[in-house]
Amino acid sequence: MSIGVLRREIEVKVPVSDLAQLIETLRARGYVEHRPRHFEQNTIYDLPDGSLRARGELIRLRRAGDESIFTFKGRASVAKHKEREEIECGVTDPVKFALILNRLGFIPTFRYEKFRTEWARPGLAGIVMIDETPIGDFVELEGDSKWIDSEAAELGFAESDYTNLSYARLYEQHCRAKQIDPGHMVFENH
């Protein structure tokens, strides 16, 4: 993630059944923790009519420790990988920033939490992010398409394991499967 830089994000998510094994494989392949495990709170905003979501766009305010980041994600083109415009900038006062969004007519529509650890391998442009969420563990591979497919295979994942769904959509699927009413994807005791 490069804050303040206009870019195209290319990524896939893969559900992870054995987190310890994945970490062992990453280390064996020369990956190091680029950013240690940290807690993230994410809030998605939309207009009351849901027009951003209807257009396939998203704005998000993320808090991770002392850092807050505001993100715009454009409409995704989804094939094997999800690709979309992503613009991010740092926010020094997330409470006031959320108030500004509210004054502009945006409302919080979905909150989700996760513990994220970012892994990188010297000399490679892609990044591996492990997300521990209330609905299970996922790995996100972000980089160019060739790198994603190559690293996924090296980590033991097949292309059929890929998902291009957002955490909001994954949470909706989870709730349907468990026959529970959806709310927000947050940890109970956090």
pLDDT reported for residue 115 = 98
Burial 45-74 (b: 16+ CB within 10 A, else e): bbeeeeebbeeebbbbbbbeeeebbbbbbb
**pLDDT at site 6:** 55
Cα separation, 174 vs 89, whole angstroms: 31
Domains and CATH numbers, the chain: 7-178 (2.40.320.10)
User: CB neighbours (10 Å) of residue 144?
Assistant: 14
CA quadruple 91, 165, 57, 97: dihedral, nearest 10: -20
**Minimal CA–CA distance to 80: which of 160, 9, 142, 173?**
160
pLDDT above 70 covers what percent of the chain? 96
d(CA 34, CA 15): 21
Other Cβ atoms closer than 10 A to 159: 13
What gap in Å lies between CA 98 and CA 115, rounded to an integer? 22
pLDDT digits (tens, 9 = 90+) for 75-131: 998 889 999 999 999 999 999 999 999 999 999 999 999 999 999 998 888 999 999
pLDDT at 61 over 80: yes
What pLDDT was estimated at residue 147? Answer: 94
What percent of the chain stands above pLDDT 90?
89
